[in-house]
Structure 1
Amino acid sequence: MRRQRKITNWLSYLDPKNPLPVSVSSDDVVWLMDNVAFQGPGGVWQAEFVAAVFDHKPSPKAVDIVGDIASKLGFSKGDKEEKTIEWRVAPFMMEVLPGRCVRVNFENLVQLDLGPGGRNGISSDIKQLPHNFSHLVARSVADVPRGVTGMLEMKTLFAEPEGWAIISDIDDTIKITQTDDPAGILRTTFVSDPEAYGVISRLFPGWIRLILIRRVTGIAAAGLEEKNAPERFERAFASLPRKKSSLPLLPYLTMSSEVPAQRQKSDKDLSYHLIYWPGFPGRGEHVRLVLEKAGADYTDTAATEGGIDEVLAYVQGETPDDGVNPPILAPPILRQGELVISQTPNIVLYLGNRLGLLPNPEEDPDGLYRVNELVLTALDGLSNEVHDCHHPIAVSLYYEDQKLESKRRAEDYVKSRMPKFFTYFERVLSSKASGDGPWLYGGKLTVADLILFQCVDGVKYMFPKATGKLKREGKHSKVFALHKAVAECTGIKEYLQSPRRQKYTNGLYRYYEELDIE
């Protein structure tokens, strides 16, 4: 394989257009770069799609460079910080692979073929986008063999009519410079942010609309506190007008002029608004996971001061009749523009279709019904029936008023019902329809995987002894593997570690010691 790869790379020197394109292989690394769509002649939307392909094995130089950086920062060989440096440097040291072709699925509407890449491993293609697509942000996913790693998802932001430009430091420059001294450019990059941007803003007044600087946290590095000191940013952006940012990952920004007005949004472009009870995850958590995985822009009454008032207004029928949306019975409720819908599986189906978490209807026109079938089954057996374990007589009664009946119901559930549904989903994950795994359908993550994750997570909290026994028996290993895979996937991992993920309390999934039985 390595010899064939070297031959292919050498042949690509013969013609700058790379006459011998090669498909991405399972041990390659693929990067898809976020891009911006703009309107070309005739008002047709188009965008430049940039992909880069590398060998997953870092260059031998990486070892020396890691040691060099660690030494300069005062760390000794073998220190845990050396691993952090190695992890951060590795992407810059990977060998580029020319002539590679990458296929991506744009919003599950159309497949786009990118490449072949040039000598620097990067391909750039202007592609027309579906004329009926009206989102402000679209999502594309790489259609690559299993085993390929990297940045396999990208977002396309639709520009305003006047357009604008973005300059980014690391992602768009280091790999293209092809410098002969990668260690030197790394030092310059890591030492001279944010001062360079202050210089540029003063040299070209009026040209810079917005500067975003991320302060690195959460790692043990020498001088990190000094680099993040407010005084440093004050010096770097001296004499420039500025504004503090409320964004948690971008805690400092400066503006040299007002941000231009955005293009007019349609209702379908507007952000999502989740209306659910504050204080516990409940059924609203199924919806949040879909929104978080897709990186969607949304607000949540559970995290808003006075959010309970909006929930009660819908539940008590105080919201005005708009003549279009039927009255709401209970949350979760999703509002987007003029659309207001409820019922968990209904909301999940709507979001999954819009956010690319359902099968492509052109490739699999019946796929959404199969995925919805799995969603409904998980909610029936691992959500609704679980709720009935602590409220078997009446929802209006307190748990303390029906403890004996609850214990009897819980005993039956953990003995027969819970194993039944775990066994069913193990069958699904073992079926040909599942694909290569670890997902439930078609070899790709869908809303069904997110729903099953939350259901398994909830019963693990409510019945730790019973779920622990199921796991030890080893008969449902694929179900538990899916739970782990979802927890570690991009978007969800960050969410689970954030304060937005609410803790289990007296909601849908509750822990009572007397119900925690095997």
Structure 2
Amino acid sequence: MKRSLFSAMSKVTSLLGNKNPFAQPMDPNEHTVWLQDNTAYRPKGGNGNSWEAEFVAAFFAKNPNRTRITEMVADVADKLNLGHGDASEETIAKRLEPWTTEILPGHTVRISIGGRQEAKLGPGGSSGVSKNVIPMAAAGKETEDGDTVDSHAVGVDTHPMTTTYAEAKGWAVISDIDDTIKITGTGDIPAVLRSTFVDDPTPVDGMPALYAHLHRALNKAPFWYLSASPYNLYPFLHEFRNAHYPPGPLLLWNASWMDVSAFVLALTKEPEKYKCDKMRELHRNFPSRAFVCIGDSTQRDPEAYAQMAREFPHWVRAIFIRRVTGPGNDESKTGPDRFEKAFKGLDRGLWHVFDDPTELYARVDALVAGDPLGTGSGTGDAPPTEPESSQKRGCVVL
């Protein structure tokens, strides 16, 4: 059967979702799969010792459209005033491959979860993405909050995925990516293109050490990385996060296979609603954890986090905003009026705008000290149990 006809049939039958009787196992010689990091949780109605997690996989045909890549490389090089044959064109081409690779609906893959069990993921829907909730096999010892386990596709050469175990209560971290932990230059289009397609990804100075401290101080708290970047950048951002920051799912914009102009638009438009919707999903799954929210001033992180603090005042325990200066970041984004307006009505002890990550060490330690159990226990939608002298509306008074 011709590939184009097979692809068309796969797209039609993929509308049946997980009940698709025509699903096919992926062929490692023809296809590839991205396994996305996830978080294991206690299932409702479980026996107290059980865990489950939603496993997400994205399926693709293996061979990208080389003609399209050549056109897009020329487009990026032109926007950055790079001469033809510039040494960076090879890097640009590699990073643009996900923009031109055909998605693969209606396929499955088997994975090994920590070497303890195997499970089938898929079939993927019309977007090529599958989601399967899988009970986790016992590890042979009592699994603790913050433990991790790696899984890999059986017989397929691809990056492994990491599952982080998260109890119903405890600390947790939501972090933005661009210009919060990675230098992107969101306020300047050429800077966005260069940092995404040409340069080695660079962490914001001091943030890897701060996040390592957070991970220790908050008792191996789970992290979620929330960004307006499209899923095309998942391998690129996953590799960067693995190199510099604690494990945790990358919650990226579900908009892929775009041209470069559409990517820039997605990254520079206001993603406040998208981020709030994602955080509401986290609240539904973990309503009793105590969240630390970290972002920057380039987009709408202050407004999005403030909205969550108003909706769930004892869920959001601290908001830290990195002030970003430079091209595209004028006084309207970085001045005190912007932040006072964004956080109007919230306890002043809840939020802090920082220029240097070292400002946050003492605040993190005080946040932990303000919790009598040191784990975020007692937080959530119920009033906090801490004395008013040290805690107010779930916010440490520093």
TM-score, normalised on structure 1?
A: 0.40
| Higher helix proportion (structure 1 or 2) | 1
Greater C-alpha Rg: 1
Q: Of Structure 1 and Structure 2, which has the larger fraction of its residues in strand?
A: 2
- Structure scoring higher RCO (CA < 8 A, sep ≥ 6) equals 2
